[in-house]
Structure 1
Amino acid sequence: METQAWLLLTYKVPPEPAAKRVALWRKLKGMGAVYLQNGVCLLPKTDDHLRRLKVIENEIESIPGEAVLLETVGLDRAQGEKVVRRFTADRDEAYREFIDKCADFEAEIAKETAAEHFTYAELEENDEDLEKLKGWLAKIQRLDFYQAPLGQEAEARLRECVALLETYARQVFDAQEENRTRPDAPEAKS
């Protein structure tokens, strides 16, 4: 493993108003930051992260708060690996939650299939849910800087959800009256 450079942001903001503190935390977590402790977080060093952290540093100072932005490396290989494990653990936690939602999606399709609830409205609702899953996985993957172990399982589960919805869509289509071949209808010529 080559030496990895990180951006280290340390900050202190007033406890009130809490909404500003929470918004700051959300913004940093939304970038994929790992917190080493309260007010101390890391991101892999990239131009994008540097630019965004400088903006956040200015926001912190306008709260008013204090912020210091540094570039850092691990003292040795073991320290660097500890940091990478923290990043992958955070992503695996997000992937686990995603996989649980895939299970919920699969259960919903199974319930609708068992009840023979083959309507366009239900198909549209499930299609919207699948699009949300796709967007969610893409967001997690953007923050998966070190290829967390559960990433491949999450991709496989999403593919299963896509295939399941395709099967359900065929069942919905086949169940609709306008799609059935009427016995008195002339057969189409080949």
Structure 2
Amino acid sequence: MTDQGWLLLVYRIPSEPTRLRATVWRRLKGLGAIYLQSAAAALPASPAAERALRKLQHEIVGMSGTAVLMSCDVLVGEQDVRAAFLAARDDEYQEIVDKCQDFHGQLEKEYVANHFTFAELEENEEDLTKLRNWFGKVTDRDVFGASGRKATEAALRTCEEALEKYAARVYTEEAETR
């Protein structure tokens, strides 16, 4: 939990080229910011969030836009803002759970196709590493403890277990071909 207030970035970007707006949106999404309304995004206050938003504010000005970064407390509606932030984290956690299901599907394809090679194992290990890293980024910005975290941890554990089972099969197949 954090009670350090919020950082609010209010900005305006020229309508053309549209890639500038998309760039800012992607950066804010990557930070875990929520939109309170169009071109007004909020993050729980922290030194890291402030640095990132100051950098983004500078980039927006470099795009011929305007941006103001404010530190504030929510006078009315704190519960709604916090709920929106939690919902955004839960959405991210659900995306990871969905990708875990895809991971299981990919391993199943390996079994069906009888692909038990070190190259396939390495590829699947890389995919699991990406999922773990993504989870780490989401948990870093999950300062209020969204409910989806536990289900995501469980989904990642099942991926790890499935990969271990697949790895054992790869090692068995490799030993038999020698």
Same fold flag (TM > 0.5): yes
Q: Residues of 2 paired with 1:70 and 1:147: CA distance?
A: 24
Secondary structure of the equivalent of 1:7?
A: strand
Counterparts of 1:126-165 in structure 2 under 5 Å? 126-165=124-163
Aligned to 1:14: 14
Unpaired runs of 5+ residues, structure 2, are: none
Tell me: CA distance 1:12–1:164, structure 2 relative to 1, closer, same or farther (3 Å): same
Aligned to 2:70: 70
Aligned to 1:91: 89
- TM-score, L = length of structure 1: 0.85
1:2 Cα deviation from its structure 2 partner: 7.7
RMSD: 2.0
Q: Residues of 1 paired with 2:100 and 2:136: CA distance?
A: 14
Residues 48-57 or 30-39, more deviating: 48-57
8 A contact 1:3–1:80 mirrored in 2: no
Q: Residues of 1 paired with 2:4 and 2:79: CA distance?
A: 9
1:15 Cα deviation from its structure 2 partner: 0.4
Q: Residues of 1 paired with 2:2 and 2:105: CA distance?
A: 44
1:145 Cα deviation from its structure 2 partner: 2.0
Tell me: CA distance 1:168–1:60, structure 2 relative to 1, closer, same or farther (3 Å): same
Residues 52-61 or 82-91, more deviating: 52-61
Tell me: CA distance 1:119–1:62, structure 2 relative to 1, closer, same or farther (3 Å): closer
Q: Residues of 1 paired with 2:53 and 2:79: CA distance?
A: 23
Q: Indicate the percent of aligned positions where both proteins have the same amino acid.
A: 43
Q: Residues of 1 paired with 2:162 and 2:73: CA distance?
A: 45
1:180 Cα deviation from its structure 2 partner: 4.0
Secondary structure of the equivalent of 2:27?
A: helix
Counterparts of 1:1-190 in structure 2 under 5 Å? 3-76=3-76, 79-176=77-174, 179-180=175-176
Secondary structure of the equivalent of 2:42?
A: strand
Secondary structure of the equivalent of 2:68?
A: strand
Displacement over 4 Å in runs of 4+: 1-4
8 A contact 1:174–1:180 mirrored in 2: yes
Number of residues of Structure 1 aligned to a counterpart in Structure 2: 178
* Structure with greater helix percent: 2
